[in-house]
Structure 1
Amino acid sequence: MMKMDSEDFTVAIIPPASAFYPLEGRRYTLCELISTGELTLAIGNQKSYFSTSPPSQLLLTAEWITNLGEYRLDCHVFIDEEEENKHLAKVRFMIFQRELTRLLTALINGDKEIYTYNPLLLDASIHIQYHSSHENLKQSAVVGTPRYYLKTNSTIS
């Protein structure tokens, strides 16, 4: 496992993944440690990488896929669980919307070497899917390209 640390952000590339492999099916799990607020990003080709020790909160998952021959980054944000009330889910949804630029900046900059080996990904679209048990919070959007998050948002914190 390769780690790149900064003051409040850790990236782990889980083998057999590397800085340039795999491209299709490359998966990301972005979490926040509950005790410190540190963002942790795992990159690999499996669904989930983090255990519950230390306790962390899943912020988003993402995967590179192809659609009609074009790459796109599909991101999934999980707003609530079945038992949460609608008001708390709405507050959480608004927080995710406010923090989305920071989260995507962390994800894109945490794996910026992949763009050196695969520059076509710089202009691939990023699709966000918000998942919720409340119908009015289930939404999707296209939120730009990796090039935008690499150029205009150079800091993670």
Structure 2
Amino acid sequence: MEKFQLDEFSVAILPPATTYHPVDGRKYTLIMSTDETNSHLAIGYKYEMSLLHSENKSMLTAEWKPSLGEYILSGKIHPGIKQSSNSNRSHQTQPEVTKAVSMIVKADKDLFAHVPWLLYAPIYIETESNIHKYRAIQFLGVPKQYLIL
């Protein structure tokens, strides 16, 4: 398992995935603690199940998928159980989602050097919530705009 530290979080590339492979079905599991002091990203062929069971943390799962002749990064943000019961917290997730996508893109920048057409692939993230009006699928731009920031 390849691990490295970025400024705010740790990243693990789970074998048999590598920095450059796979593209199709490349999955990301990002766990962000509520106090934002400890975040972890796993990149691999499957979601990192050991990270999926946490009440106090928000989680983003995402995957590269082919769609209509192009790739898209499709994902879901899952607020922690304590967070999802708070309606005020549910509609304030936009900055959190943007930060999570930015973390994924920046952590996987070597993939974009190897597969540059992914820099212009659309990113769609679904927000889960117990409150129906806060559920949404958002277009969050393309990876290139996160690498420039």
TM-score class normalised by the smaller sequence: 0.7 to 0.9
Q: Percent identity?
A: 31
* Deviation at residue 101 of structure 1 after TM alignment: 2.2
Match of 2:39 in 1: 39
Distance 2:55 2:4 in 1: 20
Scaled by the length of structure 1, the TM-score of the pair is 0.82
* Deviation at residue 99 of structure 1 after TM alignment: 2.0
* Deviation at residue 39 of structure 1 after TM alignment: 1.4
**Mapping for residues 125-144 of structure 1, pairs under 5 Å:** 125-144=122-141
Q: Which 4+ stretches in 1 moved above 4 angstroms? A: 33-36, 51-56
SS where residue 18 of structure 1 aligns? coil
Match of 2:9 in 1: 9
Cα RMSD between the aligned structures? 2.5
Distance 1:38 1:92 in 2: 19
SS where residue 63 of structure 2 aligns? strand
* Deviation at residue 95 of structure 1 after TM alignment: 3.3
Matched, 1:63 2:60: no
Query: Do the aligned partners of residues 118 and 94 (structure 1) sit closer, same or farther apart at CA in structure 2, a change above 3 Å counting?
Result: same
Gaps of 5+ in 1: 153-157
Gaps of 5+ in 2: none
